[in-house]
Amino acid sequence: LVARLDAAGDRRGPEAFRVEQFTWAMTSVVGSCALVVTLAAVGLRIDIRAVPAFVIICFVSGFLGRDWWLGRQIEARRAQLAEELPVAIDLITLSIMAGESVPASCARVAAVMSGGIGDEFKDVVADMRAGQGATEAFEAMAHRLPHPGMARLVDSLCTAIERGAPLA
């Protein structure tokens, strides 16, 4: 769940997600009960024995609905990041070729690009400023963003940093 929340860009913990999932389930139950009461008030005959099964189905549907929505958020974020990745790579390349350091080039990408990949580079810069090495910060970003292009970028940067090869 933590990995799925990271992939969706959701900074909340799993506990908050479970509370929201339970809220979706209870909202579904309340809505189903309101529907049953409304149909009974209109005069439609409802078998009372079927109501508990209907409520359980609605609870499970609401609970699983939030999980389904998380999956949709993950797919939307992956598509956004895949779209923004080439621009970020170009910005990093130009910054490094202009003589900036790796943290400065990451900070430039974070400042220029808002949301999506810009937020991920803000996290990388924050990790480096907190004392984590550049390779570890990049590998953490690659772990949060399982995308082949991101993996290649991180591998190239980490290899160049570790071996002292020209980064550009």
- pLDDT averaged over consecutive 10-residue blocks of the chain (168 residues)? 84 91 95 89 85 91 94 88 87 87 86 84 89 87 81 84 73
What angle do the packed helices 134-144 and 117-129 form, to 10 degrees?
150
pLDDT of residue 28: 94
Residue 164: phi and psi, rounded to 5, are 75, 20
**Whole-prediction pTM:** 0.73
- The CA distance from 29 to 91, in Å, is 50
| 134: Cα separation from own chain's centroid | 22
pLDDT of residue 168: 64
Question: Is the C-alpha dihedral spanning 10, 129, 147, 117 positive or negative?
Answer: positive
- The CA distance from 55 to 34, in Å, is 11
pLDDT of residue 72: 94
pLDDT of residue 43: 85
pLDDT of residue 40: 86
